Amino acid sequence: MPEAKHNLDKIRHSTSHLLAYAVKEIFGDVKFAIGPTIDEGFYYDFDLGRETFSTDDLEKIEKKMAELIKQKLKFTKTETTIKEALKKTTDQPYKQELIKELQKEGEKKVSFYRVGEFEDLCRGPHVEKTKELGHFKLLKIAGAYWRGDEKNKMLQRIYGTAFNTKDELQKYLIMLQEAEKRDHRKLGAEFKIFIQDDDVGPGLPLWLPNGAVLIEELEKLAKETEKEAGYVRVKTPHICKESMYLKSGHLPYYADSMFPPMEVDGIKYYLKPMNCPHHHKIFGSEPRSYRDLPLRLAEYGTCYRYEQSGELFGLMRVRSMQMNDAHIYCTEDQFEQEFIAVCQMYLKYFKIFGIEKYVMRFSTHSPEGLGKKYVNNAKLWQKTEAMVETALKKNYIPYVKVKNEAAFYGPKIDVQVWSAIGKEFTLATNQVDFAIPARFGLTYKNDRGEEKTPLCIHRAPLGTHERFIGFLIEHYAAAFPLWLAPIQVIIIPVSEKYNDYGNQVLEKMKAADSRAKIDKSDESLGKRIRTAEKQKIPYILVVGEKEQKEKTVAVRKRGEGDQGSKKIQDFISEIKEEIKNKK
């Protein structure tokens, strides 16, 4: 871990302990769960019995934390045996559970950290004294099931953040304010993109007409891009027999993330959680030669995954997802070229969507997980990971290496991007599979007539419609570029007298394949223009006596205002060019 990140983690971890100390001072008899650091701060989970935190409590807790910081208290570490640790935490059931787990894992001793009158089970590390803290903010209260399991008790979680300097903290808080305005759940409802309904079920979004436009435009972009790159499209069913997931190895690895099976004629069927086994079957449906490779099979396949209720979040964590999926079957010699071509496809998309900051998160295996979390083949893991890292380095693609987060069948790249306001998202994936093709008996004949097993690259540059559109809503604050905008042009007649001319303009827009509508409501011209601007429609065309006489339109462009009068055909030509270039 880089030194700066390590120091910031220490500050945030120490601040989470300080939060727990302050809660204890104010509320007395509290049951403490866990208080880890997270990407942008920290949290701590509490069990207050029947008492609940209110937003007013955050201010009281912050004040108490500030008092403790001024005392310049020291963080001190002690180690103790499991037996002593259990004695020490008799009134803390969550800590007892954690200690017993460590005991099962073979740990003989555990460590505690004390700050002032508060002591907590913790591996550390921490800052030396509380005077090193101070630039923090408590952000919100949320519910959280113990261990993330909805069968367990619901605890109260306080989220916070901390930074090295006051300036860094202020910049982050400003970003949070902007992020709140751009929240895709709020804008998704306001701009009629998607809804969620209790009768349909949690994590199962319904796409409204505006959302369907976004989906269709993204799918059109992906299909055009993939056609140019030599992909062929396939379609697969939404369910399949249990035997296929046993063969692929997804059962039992992914059982917790799959919906329970349904039984038909004594055979168990599962809703499809991923497309890869189906694509393997398509590859294996006929004999293959080295001349057929690379074979790139693409599908916008709908998948279903059982996310815990507490983890569902708008479009970002759902149970039904439409995935920009493909599987590339190639020889070892073709691997680097194919892998890098996928990375370059990401970069092309980043340019189109104005994504300027990104990093590839290169996830590798952990030797301790072989045979449990990962396919048990150390040599192939080392070889494949070396191939991926060499390809990234040779092509100057920025990446960070993360241990013990690979897919069970091979190393993977998770693509981290930052939105226009600096909010981080995980959007897409690029995974290397050295194991599963062999389980399906997939082979091709090389130039010497020998049967070989292909490598498989799993890739999803646009991720899922759900997550990617959630990102785009926040990235653009729902002010979508013209080519993507659900409504591209709105025509506003100055008065009722010019409705017929407005309809003529509308028909010409539609004939040019533009998504246009007309506002003939009784509201004033100014109010209708303001309404269109609030709807973030890229172009407003005002038509009145002059426009009708000259066969023109008065053009207003989002963010730029009045563009003057233009002949209808000239305007159509301009927007066609803008759409074509995806500006």
Q: Which residues pair with 45 in a beta bridge?
A: 157
- Of 561, 538, 529, nearest to 483 by C-alpha is 538
First to last CA, the chain: 38
d(CA 33, CA 47) in angstroms, rounded, equals 7
Contact 531, 550 (CB under 8 A): no
- The answer for residues whose C-beta is within 8 angstroms of residue 354's C-beta and 6 or more apart is 420, 475
Q: Which residues pair with 195 in a beta bridge?
A: 206
Q: Is 183 left (phi over 0), alpha (psi -120 to 50) or beta?
A: beta
Residue 459 C-alpha from the chain's centroid: 15
CA dist 237 and 204 (Å) reads 18
Q: Detail the DSSP E strand segments found in 82-163.
A: 109-115, 118-121, 136-145, 154-162
CA distances from 70 to 11, 14, 24, 156 (A): 16, 15, 18, 27
Query: 469, exposed or middle or buried, with CB in 10 Å at 0-12, 13-18, 19+?
Result: buried
Show Cβ contacts of residue 279 under 8 Å, excluding neighbours closer than 6 positions.
234, 236, 297, 299, 327
| Residue 327, marked binder | yes
Handedness of CA 205, 208, 214, 219 (dihedral sign): positive
Is 185:172 a contact under the CB 8 Å cutoff?
no
Q: Residue 250: how many CB atoms within 10 A of its CB?
A: 21
Backbone angles phi, psi at 151, to 5 degrees: -80, -20
- What CA–CA distance (Å, rounded) separates 246 from 270? 11
DSSP 349-380: HHHHHT--EEEEEEEE--GGGBTTTB-S-HHH
Q: How many CB atoms lie within 10 A of CB 433?
A: 25
Specify whether the CB–CB gap between 42 and 140 falls below 8 A.
no
Provide DSSP, 295-332.
EEEEEEEEEE----GGG-BTTTB-SEEEEEEEEEEE-T
Find the radius of gyration of the CA atoms of the chain: 28
Q: What share of the chain is helix, strand, coil (3-state, %, to 5)?
A: 40, 30, 30
- Residue 243: both structure tokens together: 């035997």
Is 330 marked within a binding site? no
State the binding site for Zn(2+): 276, 327, 458
Which residues are annotated binding-site positions? 276, 327, 458
